[in-house]
């Protein structure tokens, strides 16, 4: 069942990523779609893994949503290649900004997702 959950989640996540990427245009040389997708993914994964156990979400569903869907929706490889492209094109300011927003922003969004997940567990009467 785990492999099926990964296949379904990965399939849906990759399609969703593709479509969202088409809706969000680049801001000049700055790959806004990739940054926003990755930040949303970091937030979601932090929140989802925080609430998944307490909400008794089955392990195969957690795997399908967390690793499959979110893993396919977000993309470290695209972020890396776009950063290298900016450096190769001598767009150092864009590369540094992209790197900082992606890494620092991703960590921050993960922390926020975890915090909101914990708050939602406490509000629902479920405490750690």
CA 125 to chain CA centroid, Å, is 28
Mean pLDDT score, 89-116: 96
Can you read off the two tokens belonging to residue 50? 């925080």
Q: Is the pLDDT of residue 128 over 50?
A: no
- E strand or H helix that includes residue 38: helix 32-52
Q: What pLDDT, in 10s, does the model give residues 44-84?
A: 999 999 999 889 999 999 999 999 999 999 989 899 999 99
Mean pLDDT score, 93-102: 95
63: CB partners within 8 A, 6+ apart: 2, 5, 6, 9
Show binding-site residues for Na(+).
71, 74
Show binding-site residues.
71, 74
How far apart (Å, rounded) are the C-alpha atoms in residues 12 and 102? 23
CA 97 to chain CA centroid, Å, is 18
Domain boundaries, the chain: 2-123
Q: Can you give the pLDDT at residue 125?
A: 53
């Amino acid at each position: 069942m785990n492999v099926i959950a990964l296949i379904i989640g990965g399939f849906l996540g990759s399609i969703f990523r593709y479509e969202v990427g088409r809706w969000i245009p680049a801001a000049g040389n700055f790959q806004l779609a990739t940054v926003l997708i990755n930040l949303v993914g970091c937030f979601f994964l932090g929140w989802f893994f925080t609430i998944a156990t307490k909400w008794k979400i089955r392990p195969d569903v957690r795997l399908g949503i967390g690793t499959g869907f979110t893993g396919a929706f977000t993309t470290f490889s695209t972020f890396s290649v776009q950063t290298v492209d900016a450096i190769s094109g001598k767009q150092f300011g864009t590369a540094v900004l992209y790197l900082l927003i992606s890494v620092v922003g991703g960590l921050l969004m993960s922390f926020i997702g975890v915090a909101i997940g914990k708050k939602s567990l406490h509000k629902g009467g479920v405490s750690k």
